[in-house]
C-alpha cells in the first residue's frame, strides 16, 4: 500500500505541480492547474481512479456519489425515495449504462482544491468533492462527440467546466445533466412554473427548450469574457448563445445562471 500511495503521490505531483502552483484563470490557458497539498491530491486522484475503474467495469455504485448528484441521475419512485429526493438503485443503474462507454479511462487533472477536484475524462468530465473527509463523485459524464468543445488547456478553469457540463450532454440527449448545470433562477426564467409545479419551473417546457438549443449543431466554440461566455454552435448552424455564470455551492463549482 505504501508503494502504491508513493506512486500516486509522484504522479499527482507531476500532474498538478508540486508546491503552490499557478492559480487557474477563467479567461486564458493554464497548463498548471491549482494544486492543494500533496496528500490531498493523492486522495482525490486515488478516489477518482477507483471510481473510473469501477465505472468502466460496470461495478460502480451510488455509494461513491454525492446525494446532490444522485438527485440528478437517480429518479425516485418509492415514497421513501421521494422523501430523500433520489433512488440509489436508479443511480447505480445509470452508472452501469454510462460507465462502460469509457474508452481509455484516462484522467487529466484540471483543478485540485481542498474540497473540489476536477478531471478531464475520455471526452467527458469528472468532479469530486470532499464530504466529511471522504471524496465523493459530484459530476460525471462521458462520450462527448469529438470536436464538440475547443477548451484544450483553457479548460483548466471551473467556469469552463460549467459550460461543458451544460452543453456537452445536449449532444448525447442527456438533458437531465444539462438541466442540473443550471441555477434554479435560470430554470425558472427559461421555463416558468405552471399550476402544480412544485419545483418552481416546468420541467417539460425546460426539456423542450434544451432539446432545441443545438438545432443540428455538431460542435461549439467558446469565448470567455469575465462571467459570460459567447458560444458559437458549429455544424449545420452558426447560432450564437450567451451563457452567464455564477458561483454554486462551493467556490470551485460554477453554474450556468442565464441562457440568451
Q: What is the pLDDT of residues 135-155, one digit of tens each?
A: 999 999 987 655 455 554 444
pLDDT digits (tens, 9 = 90+) for 75-132: 999 999 999 999 999 999 999 999 998 888 889 888 888 899 999 888 789 999 999 9
Per-residue pLDDT at 8 exceeds 80: no
Residues 119 and 185 in one domain: no
Residues 230 and 121 in one domain: no
Q: Residues 191, 183: contact at Cβ < 8 Å?
A: no
> In the Cβ-directed half-sphere of 107, how many Cα atoms lie within 13 Å?
28
Residues 75 and 105 in one domain: yes
Domain count, the chain: 2
pLDDT at 14: 42
Residue 99: all three cell numbers together: 460507465
Portion of the chain with pLDDT greater than 70, in percent: 80
Residues 164 and 123 in one domain: no
Bridge partner residues of 230 (DSSP): 223, 242
Average pLDDT taken over every residue of the chain:
82
Residue span of the structural domain in which 36 resides: 1-143
pLDDT at 146: 52
Residues 132 and 169 in one domain: no
Per-residue pLDDT at 29 exceeds 60: no
Bridge partner residues of 112 (DSSP): 117
Residue 147: all three cell numbers together: 470536436
What is the CATH classification number for the domain harbouring 165?
3.10.450
Mean pLDDT calculated for residue range 2-24:
37
pLDDT at 110: 84
Residues 19 and 138 in one domain: yes
Mean pLDDT calculated for residue range 53-74:
97
Residues 122 and 227 in one domain: no
Residues 6 and 102 in one domain: yes
Residues 73 and 164 in one domain: no
Residues 130 and 17 in one domain: yes
pLDDT at 145: 58
What whole-number distance in Å separates Cα of residue 183 and Cα of residue 212? 19
Q: Is 170 helix (H, G, I), strand (E, B) or coil?
A: helix
Residues 7 and 107 in one domain: yes
Residues 8 and 31 in one domain: yes
Amino acid at each position: 500500500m505504501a508503494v502504491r500511495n508513493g506512486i500516486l503521490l509522484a504522479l499527482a505531483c507531476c500532474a498538478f505541480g508540486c508546491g503552490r502552483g499557478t492559480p487557474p484563470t477563467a479567461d486564458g490557458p493554464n497548463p498548471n492547474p491549482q494544486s492543494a497539498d500533496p496528500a490531498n491530491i493523492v486522495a482525490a486522484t486515488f478516489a477518482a481512479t477507483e471510481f473510473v475503474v469501477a465505472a468502466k467495469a460496470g461495478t460502480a455504485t451510488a455509494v461513491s456519489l454525492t446525494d446532490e448528484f444522485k438527485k440528478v441521475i437517480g429518479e425516485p419512485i418509492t415514497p421513501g425515495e421521494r422523501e430523500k429526493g433520489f433512488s440509489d438503485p436508479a443511480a447505480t443503474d445509470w452508472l452501469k449504462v454510462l460507465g462502460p462507454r469509457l474508452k481509455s479511462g484516462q484522467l487529466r487533472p484540471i483543478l485540485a482544491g481542498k474540497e473540489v477536484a476536477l478531471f478531464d475524462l475520455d471526452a467527458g468530465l469528472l468532479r469530486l468533492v470532499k464530504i466529511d473527509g471522504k471524496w465523493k463523485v459530484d459530476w460525471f459524464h462521458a462520450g462527448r462527440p469529438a470536436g464538440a468543445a475547443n477548451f484544450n488547456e483553457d479548460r483548466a478553469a471551473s467556469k469552463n467546466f460549467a459550460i461543458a457540463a451544460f452543453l456537452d450532454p445536449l449532444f448525447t440527449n442527456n438533458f437531465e445533466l444539462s438541466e442540473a448545470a443550471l441555477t434554479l433562477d435560470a430554470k425558472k426564467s427559461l421555463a416558468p412554473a405552471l399550476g402544480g409545479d412544485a419545483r418552481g419551473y416546468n420541467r417539460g417546457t425546460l426539456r423542450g427548450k434544451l432539446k432545441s438549443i443545438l438545432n443540428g449543431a455538431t460542435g461549439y466554440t467558446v469565448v470567455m469574457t469575465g462571467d459570460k461566455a459567447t458560444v458559437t454552435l458549429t455544424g449545420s448552424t452558426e447560432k450564437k448563445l450567451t451563457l452567464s455564470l455564477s458561483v454554486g455551492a462551493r467556490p470551485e463549482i460554477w453554474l450556468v445562471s442565464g441562457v440568451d
